[in-house]
Amino acid sequence: MNTKYKHTDITHLVLKSFYKVYNTLGYGFLEKVYENAMQFELNRIGLDCIAQQPIAVYYEHQKVGSYYADLVVNNCVIIELKAAESIALEHEAQLTNYLKATDIEVGLLLNFGREPQHKRKVFANERKNHHRSYES
């Protein structure tokens, strides 16, 4: 399967849930409120959704830190949530780094700003230096 289209069935459901949450809550809340609402909605529709999944970061085979993904869906899509005026390049870089640090290839950046925004990122495993998984 072309990596570009990988997990589109799941990302479609996530985006549908994103707009439901956005239309219900609107904008102006802290990210944690949207994270909790998204986790509730994704679990409600039957997706496995884990909040604040730790992701180990390595440099030269040495663990140098951890990130925490806002949401991981069905262990195959990372969701990064924002409540900002608009999506910034730093937000996109953050999601790309999460994808680089894991075996997950697909990520969604969801912004609950004045206008709802989303971006889909794909980083194929064959482009990664080391396949790593979540911290234990």
The dihedrals phi and psi of 52, each to the nearest 5 degrees, come to 55, 50
Quick: pLDDT tens for 90-106. Answer: 999 999 988 988 889 99
The answer to whether the Cα torsion of 114, 23, 121, 135 is positive or negative is positive
What does the alpha-carbon distance between residue 47 and residue 64 come to, in Å, rounded to a whole number?
Answer: 31
Q: pLDDT tens digits for the chain (136 residues)?
A: 566 788 999 999 999 999 999 999 999 999 999 999 999 999 999 999 999 999 888 788 888 888 899 999 999 999 999 999 999 999 999 999 889 888 899 999 999 999 999 999 998 877 776 545 445 4
pTM over 0.85: yes
Q: What domains, with CATH codes, occur in the chain?
A: 8-123 (3.90.320.10)
